[in-house]
A and B are shown apart, each in its own frame.
Chain A
């Protein structure tokens, strides 16, 4: 089955700096790659996603890039703010009967003042 690796596990940046989180996946059939933000004790919330027919997608301060040849995708957050502090999960899905997501192990992002 699909395997998703994510790094780093923790990331500390100064407010206003950029943050980059990287993920790799194993199944070349995967075609949908969402990123979720999860604050402590809260539900995972989708922040951005990318489908395999595009290489990059941007939404304000957040961008995701996808390299299908290398089977990796990355989350980029620019001009980080304290409210960006949370755990971020990447995920991938092969699809088929239902699009069950395989998640990475998460990145704890801390934005320091």
Chain B
């Protein structure tokens, strides 16, 4: 079946612009995660949704970062007033279950590479 998809795949923004990154999880997956991957580093957790509820946003680096999943399926990560340090690959992952199942496999999307000039 279809995997996790993300759009756009590449985004170039001028410093100060707002951007919106989209994630389409695997159909029926309850849990959705956003990660940030800097060049040459491992992914770092940003935020977690169980259905439409944002249960953990402890990894969001500043109040310029905002995520939503209003209908419990598609999610959008928005970054306001982008800065050069926001340049990274933003990965979305989904997993079938919620409720704190800590051994659930996470399936990743291809990521959006954001470059802030």
Q: Mark B81-117, 1 if CB is under 8 A from A, else 0.
A: 0000000000100010010111111111111000000
Chain A-chain B contacts (Cβ-Cβ < 8 Å), number: 77
Tally of B interface residues using CB under 8 Å: 30
Smallest CB-CB separation from B30: which chain A residue? A98
* Chain A residues positioned under 8 Å from B1 (CB to CB): none
Which among B14-22, B39-47, B60-68 touches the partner chain? B39-47
* Chain A residues positioned under 8 Å from B59 (CB to CB): 100
Q: 12 new A-B pairs (CB below 8 Å) besides A43-B91, A101-B106?
A: A4-B42, A34-B105, A43-B108, A43-B109, A51-B103, A96-B102, A97-B48, A98-B48, A98-B98, A99-B103, A103-B43, A105-B41
B contacts, CB < 8 Å to A? 4, 31, 33, 35, 40-45, 48, 50, 55-56, 59, 91, 95, 98, 100-111
A contacts, CB < 8 Å to B? 4, 6, 31-32, 34, 36, 42-46, 49, 51, 89, 91, 93-106
